[in-house]
Amino acid sequence: MVSADSYHMHAFHSLTVRIICAAIVFVALTASFPFERAPRATTFDPEDFTSEWDLLDTNDDGQIDYAVISDNDGLLMRAAMDYSGDGRFDNFYAYHDGQLVLHEIDSNSDGAIDLRVFVIEGNQIAGFEQDTNHDGHMDLVEFFYEEVSQRR
């Protein structure tokens, strides 16, 4: 027999669980993902990268296509890749505590970022901004968390 008491206990527990979950998400979003401090891509030419970066030729064609920099603990800080193979970087990654927080893409290889994806929990898309006509202005902006939008 299901008593009124057990029903109320169940409702109480669901509410408690929901509040705890919301609190965890809130703390994670506000404390762990400082998008505003994630460094933006500033240079697209491998020759412009300082000696602190490791520059690699991952496909052995004689051309640098991967740049990466880690902190003293070996955690990734930033990375850049040349996916198009034109010798200039077009995908940029910024990490916080070793987790990806920002992925920037120059999709048409014109030396300007036209897609910026904000990431939480290392792999969840929290929002993005896109320059769909490549005029240097992000014209399509969508955020799935208000907190992230304010901190981008």
Strand partners, 117: 103, 128
Q: Which is nearer to Ca ion, 29 or 104 (CB)?
A: 104
Shortest Cβ 102–Ca ion spacing (Å): 16
CB burial of 75-99 (b: ≥16 within 10 Å; e: otherwise) equals ebbbbbbbeeeeebbbbbbbbbeee
Shortest Cβ 57–Ca ion spacing (Å): 14
Residue 55 CA to residue 99 CA, distance in Å, equals 21
Residues in contact with Ca ion, counted by CB under 5 A, come to a total of: 10
Q: Which two tokens stand for residue 40?
A: 């933006």
63-82 residues near Ca ion, rule: CB under 5 A = 82
Which member of 43, 84, 130, 149 binds Ca ion (CB under 5 A)?
84
Q: Which residues of the shown chain bind Ca ion in the complex (CB under 5 A)? A: 82, 84, 86, 88, 90, 106, 108, 110, 112, 114
